[in-house]
C-alpha cells in the first residue's frame, strides 16, 4: 500500500539527496506560510514530503517557525506519518555526540508558541500522555537496528526531550536542573510539532541527532555552534539513510489509534455552534471526524 510520509528536517538537514527526482510544492495555509516549499519525492512505493523546519538557508529561529502552517500543509497534502528530525544537546553522560535518540516523552519549557489549531469557537483536548506514535517509533527503531553498522553513533530507543524556548542555550544552572528531572536531551522545536501532529491525527515520531553535551558537563567547553555543525555533518547522512529505509519498508504499517484517531473524543464543542470560517480553516484537520 502506498504511504505518504512527512519529514521535517532540522538543523543540518535542509534537503533530501539531490539525485532524487523531486517536485517543489508551495502551500499557503490559513495560518500563514510554512517554513518553505515542500519537496515531494517518491521513494519505493512511498511518497515523501520533505520540509526544512528552519527554512532554506536556516533563516528562522525556533520561536519563529510557523509550526501550525507546517503541519497544516503536510496534512493537506495527504500525509499520514510525520517524522521530526532535529539536533539536540545531551543531558546524560551515556548519550554521546553522534548518537541517535528516539524520544518518546517531552517536557515543555517554551513560552511563546502557538501550539494548537483549536480556539476561535471550537474546543478540543487531545490525549497527549504518550506524545509519539508507538507503531511508527517501533518501526523506526527496528530500522535503526538494521542500519546500525552504517550509523555515526549508538541508538537510544527512548528518551525525554526537554523543549526550551531559545534561541540562547541554557545556563549551567538550568542544564543541571534539567538533568535532575530526568531529561535525556535538550532542543528547541520538536514538542510543538508533536502537539500539532497529534491534533492533526498524524502519527509522529521524533528522531534526535545528538550534537554535543549541554553545558552541565563542566569538563567540556561550553556549547559551540561550530562543534554542532561538524557533528551534524556526520549525522545527517545517516538520517537520510533512515528516511530512505522508512519510505522503502513502511509498506502496510498502520498508525496507532492514539495518533490516527486522536480527535475521536477530543472535541467538546457543539459543531452547530462552531463558526463556519473556523470549520473551513480546519477542514484538513477535521475532515475525518466531521465526515464520520
**Which three-class secondary structure state does DSSP give residue 201?**
coil
- Average pLDDT of the residues in 149-177: 95
Q: What is the pLDDT of residue 235?
A: 87
Q: What is the pLDDT of residues 35-79, one digit of tens each?
A: 999 999 999 999 999 999 999 999 999 999 999 999 999 999 999
Residues marked as catalytic: 212, 214
Note the maximum CA span of the chain: 61
Cβ-based neighbours of 286, under 8 Å, separated by 6 or more: 263, 279
Cα gap 64→189, rounded to integer Å: 10
Helix (H) or strand (E) holding 33: none
Q: What is the pLDDT of residue 228?
A: 75
- Average pLDDT of the residues in 151-165: 95
What pTM, to 2 d.p., does this model score?
Answer: 0.95
Name the band, by pLDDT with cuts 50, 70 and 90, for residue 81.
Answer: very high
The DSSP bridge partners found for residue 205 are 83
Q: Quick one: 183 exposed, middle or buried, by C-beta within 10 A (0-12, 13-18, 19+)?
A: buried
* 92-96, 198-202, 235-239: least confidently modelled range: 235-239
Q: What is the pLDDT of residue 222?
A: 63
- Name which of 141, 136, 195, 137 is nearest 163 in CA terms: 195
* 86-100, 156-170, 196-210, 228-242: least confidently modelled range: 228-242
- Average pLDDT of the residues in 133-151: 95
Residue recorded with cell 549508538? 154
Q: What is the pLDDT of residue 1?
A: 61
Cα gap 228→97, rounded to integer Å: 9
Between helix 67-76 and helix 283-291 the angle, nearest 10°, is 50
Q: Look up the CATH superfamily of 4-291.
A: Nucleoside phosphorylase domain (3.40.50.1580)
- Break the chain into its structural domains and give their ranges: 4-291
Cα gap 75→77, rounded to integer Å: 5
The yes-or-no verdict on residue 109 having pLDDT over 90 is yes
Q: What is the pLDDT of residue 151?
A: 87
Q: Which residues of 239-261 are buried (b: 16+ CB within 10 A; e: fewer)?
A: bbbbbbbbbeebeebebbebbbe
Q: What is the pLDDT of residue 19?
A: 78
Cα gap 104→185, rounded to integer Å: 11
* 5-14, 130-139, 233-242: least confidently modelled range: 233-242
Amino acid at each position: 500500500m502506498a504511504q505518504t510520509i512527512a519529514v521535517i528536517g532540522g538543523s543540518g538537514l535542509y534537503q533530501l539527496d539531490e539525485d532524487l527526482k523531486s517536485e517543489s510544492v508551495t502551500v499557503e495555509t490559513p495560518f500563514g506560510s510554512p517554513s518553505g516549499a515542500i519537496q515531494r519525492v517518491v521513494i519505493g512505493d512511498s511518497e515523501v514530503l520533505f520540509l526544512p523546519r528552519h527554512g532554506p538557508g536556516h533563516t528562522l529561529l525556533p520561536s519563529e517557525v510557523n509550526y501550525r502552517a507546517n503541519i497544516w500543509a503536510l496534512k493537506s497534502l495527504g500525509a499520514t506519518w510525520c517524522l521530526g528530525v532535529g539536533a539536540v544537546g545531551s543531558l546524560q553522560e551515556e548519550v554521546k555526540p553522534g548518537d541517535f535518540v528516539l524520544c518518546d516523552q517531552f517536557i515543555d519549557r517554551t513560552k511563546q508558541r502557538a501550539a494548537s489549531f483549536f480556539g476561535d469557537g471550537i474546543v478540543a483536548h487531545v490525549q497527549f500522555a504518550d506524545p509519539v506514535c508507538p507503531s511508527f517509533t517501533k518501526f523506526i527503531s527496528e530500522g535503526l537496528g538494521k542500519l546500525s553498522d552504517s550509523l555515526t553513533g549508538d541508538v537510544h530507543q527512548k528518551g525525554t526531550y526537554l523543549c526550551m524556548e531559545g534561541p540562547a542555550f541554557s545556563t549551567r544552572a538550568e542544564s543541571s536542573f534539567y538533568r535532575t528531572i530526568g531529561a535525556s536531551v535538550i532542543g528547541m522545536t520538536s514538542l510543538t510539532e508533536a502537539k500539532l501532529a497529534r491534533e492533526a491525527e498524524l502519527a509522529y515520531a521524533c528522531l534526535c541527532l545528538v550534537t554535543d553535551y549541554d553545558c552541565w558537563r563542566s569538563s567540556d567547553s561550553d556549547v559551540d555552534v561550530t562543534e554542532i555543525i561538524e557533528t551534524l555533518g556526520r549525522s545527517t547522512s545517516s538520517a537520510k539513510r533512515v528516511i530512505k529505509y522508512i519510505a522503502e519498508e513502511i509498506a502496510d504499517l498502520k498508525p496507532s489509534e492514539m495518533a490516527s484517531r486522536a480527535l475521536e473524543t477530543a472535541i467538546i464543542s457543539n459543531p452547530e455552534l462552531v463558526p463556519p470560517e473556523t470549520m473551513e480553516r480546519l477542514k484538513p484537520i477535521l475532515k475525518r471526524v466531521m465526515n464520520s
